[in-house]
Amino acid sequence: MAEDPMPSTSDPESNVEDKASRDSTCVCSITRSKDDSERLVGPPVNLSAERNSTKKARVFDLNAIFEEARRTAMSRSKEARLAEGPKPSTSDPESNVKDGATGGSSSTSAATRSEEGSDEELVGPPITLCAEVNEEGTSSEEDEEGSEHTTEAYRTIPVKEQLTLRHGTKIVSALALDPNGARLVTGGYDFDITLFDFAGMDSSLQPFRSLRPCDCHQIRNLEYSCTGDTFLVVSGSAQAKVLDRDGFEVMECVKGDQYITDMARTKGHVAMLNYGCWHPRSREDFLTCANDGTLRLWNVDKPNCHKALVKTKQLGGLRAIPSTCRFSRDGQLMVAGCQDGSLQFWDQRRTLVHPSSMVREAHQRGTDITCMAFAHDGRQLATRSCDDTLKLWDTRALRPTALHTFAELDNLYPATDCGFSPDDRVVYTATSNAAGVGQLVFFERDTMREVLRLQLPSPVARIIWHARLNQLLAGLACGEVRLLYDAAYSHHGALLCASKAARARPTPQGLTLAQVLTPHALPLFREERPRSSRKRLEKARKDPVLSQRPDLPVTGPGQGGRIASAGNTLSSYIVRNLGTTKRVDDNVDPREAILKYAKEAAENPYWVTPAYASTQPKPVFQESEEPTPAKKPKQA
């Protein structure tokens, strides 16, 4: 048996291999001593696995190691910049990676030595952190270089330039941009949905498709899913729809039974929808609210029934109509803004019977809460209402009073938006008044002071600040969509189509030799000139219309509304054809026809004369009496 080398305490992986080799050697020697002629069959017994099963693995504080490596890389990069002086930094990123790797390896070895002395039974290879340390060191320098530009880009509101997209003639009540910012969907009170593609659009700004998916129902909201492959259409009907990127229908929610009182027993909404939104983490789940007082959670794969149901209640237990709904950023909370002015929260990790938290008098009672928006950090909630206010709430500790209230913000439409800037430093909303003027208003989130008030020629309902494009979109009441951007800080979107020239319509160039035919040259349309007046009269005589020939007598049954000579009325015609009466010649005088039976009646009386034969044999007829003249009145 070969002599085993001394185990190294600095490398736990080598310790494991040495122990395993010694165990296998001992087992083999015992087997040979018992029966030298019998050969070993199969792999040796691994006793180290049984021993290691009773031991626990070494635990490292990864956060502390990462932090120490990051600080080491930052200190070395600062020393290098100081040594170079005022010259521009042209350091090679590979050197930063090597420095970060050296610092990371030294810190890792120090941590390994300190832990080996205290716990010698811990086994297993050391955790390699070079990749993580290198990524941390490199990303820290890149963040330092680009942080100033990114911060300045988001602090600057992109409103220097603008484009106008035409949707229709009525208010744009819905706007949606996909997560990548490649496509825009607009909807309005004209029942139409218009799809724009920034990459395929030129400076003419024409949509590539327009459709009407919900018949004659107003579009209340549009929203893309988290993956951008489908978008939700919420209209004034009771059924929401999901369409793909090209506008083709994917699913339609089922409609509930409107004759059932308990809304929990219906499979869908029974009243007009007010709002709808997608789950921020799931591409299959979305939420809708309607005038039936319910919020319903749907799954795209199961359109025949809702996934979950929530009822909104007022203070006295009556039904509260939700005007808007929203998921939190992590998708754990569902929030409903009701017409009684309340905000109701439900935690999906609990039962959805009662709200987990609630603010009863968040806004004025009887006014619609038009929009709710969570900050990107999830700590605050912004709500917009038709009571002309914008309020901020702390979601970590809800109180009856808001953190701050922005008043005197006119609101005429139940679709007015609000939201946070991509860096969470600015809160924005839109205004609309009876004078026909709209504004975009921006406030600082920390100081609550007004930053900018941009006036537009028409009332504004919808507004979106896309984080990836760094562009603003505003839906106006005149049917236009204003796209605001800054060429220095915005990306793609409007920049792709603003610089493209409009495509000229192709004009056909060339000469074509076509045969020209005049109508009077064809034999079908040619009019022959009459040779003489005699021939013209003979030809007109043969034409029953020109000669005004009377109708010919009808023979047989009537035709064309005319009846045969058997009778002049329909009843006589029917009676005579059915055989109930004999045919009567219409040319015979009826008096003569009756008098020809007078002689026979006098000679052979049968009906009346025998009755008067004994009492009055001679008929006596009434004599006519002449009227006596009236007496003249006496004159006084």
What is residue 368's three-state secondary structure?
A: coil
Nearest to 55 by CA among 128, 124, 117, 115: 124
Phi, psi for residue 245 in degrees, rounded to 5:
-65, -25
| 292 and 340 fall within a common domain | yes
User: Do residues 177 and 289 both lie within one domain?
Assistant: yes
C-alpha dihedral sign at 342, 345, 350, 351 = positive
Q: Is the pLDDT of residue 335 over 90?
A: yes
What is the pLDDT at residue 519?
67
Mean pLDDT of 29-50: 45
Q: What is the pLDDT of residues 423-449, one digit of tens each?
A: 889 999 999 988 888 899 999 988 888
Please report the pLDDT score of residue 205 as a whole number. 86
Regarding whether 360 and 490 lie in a shared domain, the answer is yes
Average pLDDT over residues 112-135: 40
Least reliable range by pLDDT among 26-40, 57-71, 431-445: 26-40
DSSP 8-state symbol, 473: E
Domain assignment of residue 584, yes or no: no
The phi, psi pair for 72, rounded to 5°, reads: -65, -45
Identify whether the C-beta of residue 277 lies closer than 8 Å to the C-beta of residue 287. yes
61-75, 80-94, 197-211, 369-383, range with greatest mean pLDDT:
369-383
Neighbours of 21 (CB within 10 A): 14
CA dist 6 and 115 (Å) reads 21
- Helix (H) / strand (E) element for 127: namely none
**Domain containing residue 431:** 156-498
Q: Is the pLDDT of residue 278 over 60?
A: yes
Collapsed DSSP state (helix, strand, coil) of residue 191: coil
The residue that leads in pLDDT, 56 or 288, is: 288
Q: What is the pLDDT of residue 342?
A: 92
- The verdict on 100 and 207 lying in the same domain is no
| Residues 186, 176, 285: CA angle, nearest 5 degrees | 125
Question: What are the C-alpha distances in Å from 341 to residues 357, 365, 401, 611?
Answer: 15, 5, 13, 103
Give the chain's domain count.
Answer: 2
CB crowding 58-96: b at 16 or more within 10 Å, else e: beeeeeebbebbbebbbebbeeeeeeeeeeeeeeeeeeb
> Residue 208 — φ and ψ, nearest 5°?
-90, -10
pLDDT of residue 464: 92
- In this predicted model, what pLDDT tens digit does every residue of 406-417 receive, in sequence order? 998 989 888 899
Q: Which of 223-227, 296-300, 529-533, 619-623 has the lowest mean pLDDT?
A: 529-533
- How confident is the model over 487-493, as a mean pLDDT? 85
296 and 443 in a common domain: yes
Q: What is the pLDDT of residue 86?
A: 52
The angle, 0 to 180 degrees and rounded to 10, between the axes of the packed helices 93-118 and 62-84 is 140
Is a pLDDT exceeding 60 seen at residue 101? Answer: no
Amino acid 185: pLDDT: 94
**pTM value > 0.75:** no
Q: How far apart are CA 602 and CA 259, in angstroms?
A: 85
Q: Is the pLDDT of residue 607 over 80?
A: no
Domain end, chosen from 498, 523, 558, is at: 498
Q: Which of 12-21, 436-445, 626-635 has the lowest mean pLDDT?
A: 12-21
* 624 domain-assigned: no
- Give the percent of the chain with pLDDT over 70: 69
Instruction: Give the phi and the psi of residue 377 in degrees, each rounded to 5.
Output: -85, -5
Q: Is 104 exposed, middle or buried (0-12, 13-18, 19+ CB in 10 A)?
A: buried
Instruction: Tell me, yes or no, whether 316 lies in a domain.
Output: yes
CATH code: domain of residue 329? 2.130.10.10
Residues 207 and 314 in one domain: yes
Q: What was the pLDDT predicted at 268?
A: 92
Q: Percent of the chain having pLDDT more than 90?
A: 28
Mean pLDDT of the residues in the chain: 77
| 483 vs 198: CA distance, rounded Å | 12
* Assigned domain for 160 exists: yes
- E strand spans, 507-604: none
More confident residue, 82 or 297: 297
Q: Tell me, yes or no, whether 452 and 338 share the same domain.
A: yes
Task: Determine the straight-line distance between the first and last CA of the chain, rounded to whole angstroms.
Answer: 180
Structure-model confidence comparison of residues 386 and 64, the more confident one:
386
Domain boundary at 154, 173, 188, which?
154
CB 78 within 8 A of CB 91: no
423 and 413 in a common domain:
yes
pLDDT at 599: 81
Strands (E), 208-342: 209-211, 219-224, 230-235, 241-244, 249-252, 273-278, 285-290, 294-299, 308-311, 322-327, 333-338
> How confident is the model at residue 155, as a pLDDT?
64
445-489 confidence digits (pLDDT tens): 888 888 889 999 899 989 999 989 889 999 999 999 999 998 888
Tell which wins on pLDDT, 218 or 4: 218
Band (56; pLDDT cuts 50, 70, 90): low
| pLDDT of 4 | 44
The average pLDDT across 399-422 equals 90
Task: Of 268, 319, 314, give the one whose Cα is nearest residue 293.
Answer: 319
| Residue 613 confidence (pLDDT) | 78
Residue finishing a domain among 441, 465, 498: 498
Q: Verify that 104 and 252 share a domain, yes or no.
A: no
Phi, psi of 109 (to 5 degrees): -65, -40
Pair of tokens at residue 74: 């930052």
pLDDT grade, residue 516 (50/70/90)? low
Domain identity same for 278 and 403: yes
Q: Given a cut of 90, is residue 562 above it in pLDDT?
A: no
Asked whether 73 and 103 are in contact (CB, 8 A), the reply is yes
What is the band of 181 on the pLDDT scale with cuts at 50, 70, 90? confident
Q: Is residue 246 domain-resident?
A: yes
Per-residue model confidence (pLDDT) at position 17: 46
Burial class (CB in 10 A: 0-12, 13-18, 19+), 108: buried
Winning range, highest mean pLDDT, from 54-68, 152-166, 309-323, 529-543: 309-323
* pLDDT value of position 635: 62
Q: Are residues 389 and 415 in the same domain?
A: yes
**What are 290's strand-pairing partners?**
273
The more confidently predicted of residues 253 and 50 is 253
Confidence at residue 88, expressed as pLDDT on a 0 to 100 scale: 42
Residue type, 220: R
Q: Is 80 exceeded by the pLDDT of residue 564? A: no
Give the range among 48-52, 513-517, 545-549 with minimum mean pLDDT: 48-52
* Helix-then-strand count for the chain, H and E: 10, 28
Ramachandran class of 415: left when φ > 0, alpha when ψ lies in -120 to 50, beta otherwise: alpha
Between 59-73, 141-155, 330-344, 528-542, the lowest mean confidence (pLDDT) is in 141-155
Together in a domain, 148 and 280: no
Residue of higher predicted confidence among 293 and 606:
293
Distance from C-alpha of 148 to C-alpha of 118, rounded to nearest angstrom: 46
Question: Per the domain annotation, does 30 fall within a domain?
Answer: no
With respect to residue 629, please indicate whether it lies within any of the assigned structural domains.
no
Q: Which residues contact 565 (CB under 8 A, 6 or more apart)?
A: 553, 554, 586
Reference 172, options 419, 462, 432; nearest CA is 462
* Tens of pLDDT, residues 220-237: 999 999 998 999 999 999
